[in-house]
Amino acid sequence: MANTKEASRQPHLEGAERIEYRGGALQVPDRPIVPFIEGDGTGPDIWRASVRVLDAAVQAAYGSRRGIAWLEVYAGEKAHQRLGTMLPAESVATIREHRVAIKGPLTTPVGGGFRSLNVTLRQELDLYACVRPIRYFPGVPSPVKRPQDVNIVIFRENVEDIYAGIEWPAESTGAAELRAFLADHKITIRPDAGIGIKPISQFGSKRLVRKAIQYALDHGRPSVTLVHKGNIMKYTEGAFRDWGYEVATTEFRDRVVTWDEVQRTFGGRVPEGKLLMQDSIADIMFQHLLLRPREHSVLATPNLNGDYLSDAAAASVGGIGMAPGANIGDGHAVFEATHGTAPKYANLDKVNPGSVVLSGVMML
């Protein structure tokens, strides 16, 4: 049940219950408590519109038998105004306790300033898979000729790669120490260079690809494409590719076939009932999104590639204003608007709430 502190502060929580996680599955009561973060800039505008749609959908499906008890938690500018910090520990703890949450856009500074709140939430809750389904909705303006051919789901690794935030500014003590260490290994870096480290682990790569493959199998998708820059970064992104194939050919051997096997053994045709595992260099994938999107169904990518590709794919079907997103771990998930805060449109009710509405569809 909702705890007494919550219920006294927000009477509508009386009788509502937390979502639990047992046996590898979410246990959802008839009146689950779902935390939400309005977001910054246009966040309150699009949340006000979206929550009406989500409540109406639940009402249409279940009548009075089921409903969502919304619990507001604070992050971003609203949290800073009220509590003096951009991401209160209590907010993270509340989301962790209630398992599933939804949020609007949060301010992320460019260059200096505080660290991305979105990245911090993902790392604090180990939300290792950023899931972005991207498809065309008839009537939405698009810059490409055949946007209806785009129907992909991107699984982006969410907590490693350069987003781990391991970096030192140019001419700092840390950068100097790292340059000295590298110099011992005959690697020279200019003294005025900022330095970042790009960790991609076997564990992180395999669990991301495993989730992508399982999704494809559960939803009858024809293929999973590993997207990487392994021709250049052989021991990080190249390893991501190799570890991805290893997961496919050991854990899912009876249900998948690789592109090499299709060419070598099956005459260029995927056997019926098999999931195709293939891979693509990242820059080639950008071309495929524009020219041959029907050749790809589920993409699994390291963090940075997935960030670029998600927005590029969304642009081909009308823009990120219509793109939903979810950050999913094992037993926790935060669904979110994928676009920015657009502060100049705040309080004008001009911004399309489609991204939050469709993220709510994913959540439900």
Looking at the chain, the whole-number percentage of residues with pLDDT higher than 90 is 77
pLDDT for the residue numbered 113: 47
Distance of CA 114 to the CA centre of its chain: 21
pLDDT at 329 over 90: yes
Compute the mean pLDDT over every residue in the chain, rounded to the nearest whole number: 91
DSSP lists the bridge partners of residue 337 as 324
Answer for the pair 101, 36: CB distance below 8 angstroms, yes or no. Answer: yes
What is the reported pTM? 0.90
d(CA 280, CA 309): 12
pLDDT for the residue numbered 215: 97
Task: Enumerate the H helices of 219-347 as residue ranges.
Answer: 237-251, 259-265, 282-291, 303-316
pLDDT for the residue numbered 254: 95
β-pairing, 333-337 with 324-328? Answer: antiparallel
- Going by the DSSP 8-state scheme, the letter that residue 32 receives in this structure is B
pLDDT band at 63 (very low <50, low <70, confident <90, very high): very high
For residue 140, what is the domain's CATH number? 3.40.718.10
pLDDT at 11 over 70: no
Same domain, 132 and 246: yes
Between 202 and 12, the more confident residue is: 202
pLDDT tens digit sequence for 17-54: 999 999 989 999 999 999 999 989 999 999 999 999 99
Domain that holds residue 212: 128-160+200-328
Mean pLDDT value across residues 256-280: 95
Looking at the chain, the whole-number percentage of residues with pLDDT higher than 70 is 95
Same domain, 121 and 135: no
Same domain, 211 and 324: yes
Same domain, 193 and 210: no
pLDDT for the residue numbered 297: 97
pLDDT for the residue numbered 108: 63
Mean pLDDT value across residues 307-333: 93
pLDDT for the residue numbered 225: 98
Same domain, 182 and 297: no
Same domain, 155 and 120: no
pLDDT at 115 over 80: no
pLDDT band at 9 (very low <50, low <70, confident <90, very high): low
d(CA 201, CA 243): 9
At which of 181, 197, 213 does a domain end? 197
pLDDT tens digit sequence for 152-174: 999 999 999 998 889 999 999 99
Same domain, 63 and 34: yes
Same domain, 241 and 334: no
Task: Enumerate the H helices of 108-236 as residue ranges.
Answer: 117-124, 173-183, 202-218
Neighbours of 59 (CB within 10 A): 13
Same domain, 145 and 174: no
pLDDT for the residue numbered 111: 46
Go through 131-167 and write b for each residue having 16 or more CB atoms within 10 A of its CB, e for each that does not. bbbbbbeeeeebebeebebbebbbbbbbbbbbbbeee
Same domain, 34 and 121: yes
Same domain, 144 and 284: yes
d(CA 187, CA 118): 34
Between 6 and 324, the more confident residue is: 324
- If one counts the domains in the chain, the total is 3
Question: Would you state the structure tokens that stand for residue 30, as one six-digit string?
Answer: 């008839």
**Residues identified as active-site:** 163, 229, 283, 307
Give the Å distances, CA to CA, from 304 to 66, 160, 242, 364: 39, 9, 18, 28
Answer for the pair 332, 192: CB distance below 8 angstroms, yes or no. Answer: no
Mean pLDDT value across residues 51-72: 96
Same domain, 274 and 146: yes
